[in-house]
Amino acid sequence: MLKRTQYQSALGGRVGGRCKTRTTVSGEIMGLLAEIRTNPIIAAVRDIRDLEKAVASKVNAIFLLTGDINSLSECVEFVQEAGKGVYLHLDLIKGLGHDRAAVGYLARKVKPNGVISTRSNLLKSAKAEGLYTIQRIFMLDSLSLRTAMFSIRKTEPDAVECLPAIIPRVFSELVHEVRQPIIAGGLIKHYSELIKTLRSGVKAVSISSQQFWNYSLKKEDFDESRGIY
């Protein structure tokens, strides 16, 4: 597990105090939809050493798919101080239990903008704690699609992350079946794939490939189909 000194070294030693919750001019708490409104690319960070690059990039939101219980607070603090949203994948955090108590600890002590999980029980606990919840689902075949839609309706997350991101036809169907915003993730390698996926109706795309984190998309590349303006 990363020690604090190792974490500071990875981020150039820049760890400060906790930032306050970010709000809009009207005083409403900023959520994921506000963060992806002008940039639908979300940085998916799998290695803690890449967190600084994600924070320095053009993205407004970061999915943290790594970390351990000892480094999470510093990671979240670092991202939020840069004015970006950070969403923790509960299933991938080392040293964190998969129960209500663990989620309560994250909500009160770590204070991320939201959480990601494939587990309905964790997402329900996170919602009860006031966290933004993202349910991750995998599209393998028609059966997995039906199972996922049933789980989404039962769990009622705030958003859904669907993998892999290279099945835009399925996204076009899914966005009409569930009320939650859809985020596509995984396996995108080319700009043309990114645009095709965004035009399928999803609200954003989470990408681990750093070459996409600083892309400057034109509004017409994603505006019409996303329908959030």
Which residue type, as a one-letter code, is found at position 218?
K
Partnered with residue 205 across adjacent β-strands are 41, 184
Distance of CA 130 to the CA centre of its chain: 16
CATH number for 179: 3.20.20.70
9-67, pLDDT tens digit by residue? Answer: 445 444 444 443 443 333 334 589 999 998 999 999 999 999 999 999 999 999 999 99
CB 137 within 8 A of CB 44: no
pTM of the full predicted structure? 0.84
* Domain count for the chain: 1
- DSSP for 36-75? TSS--EEEEE-SGGGHHHHHHSS-SEEEE---BTTTHHHH
Position 216 scores a pLDDT of 75
Q: Judge whether 31 lies within some domain.
A: no
Position 14 scores a pLDDT of 43
Q: Judge whether 21 lies within some domain.
A: no
CB 161 within 8 A of CB 137: yes
pLDDT, averaged across the chain: 84
Q: Which of 141, 148, 139, 107 is nearest to 124 (CA)?
A: 107
Q: Could you list the residue range(s) of the whole structural domain that residue 197 is in?
A: 39-215
Q: Judge whether 17 lies within some domain.
A: no
Q: Judge whether 33 lies within some domain.
A: no
Q: Looking up tokens 């509960």, which residue turns up?
A: 90
How many of the other CB atoms lie within 10 Å of CB of 163? 17
180-216, pLDDT tens digit by residue? Answer: 999 999 889 898 899 999 999 999 999 999 999 998 7
Q: Judge whether 25 lies within some domain.
A: no
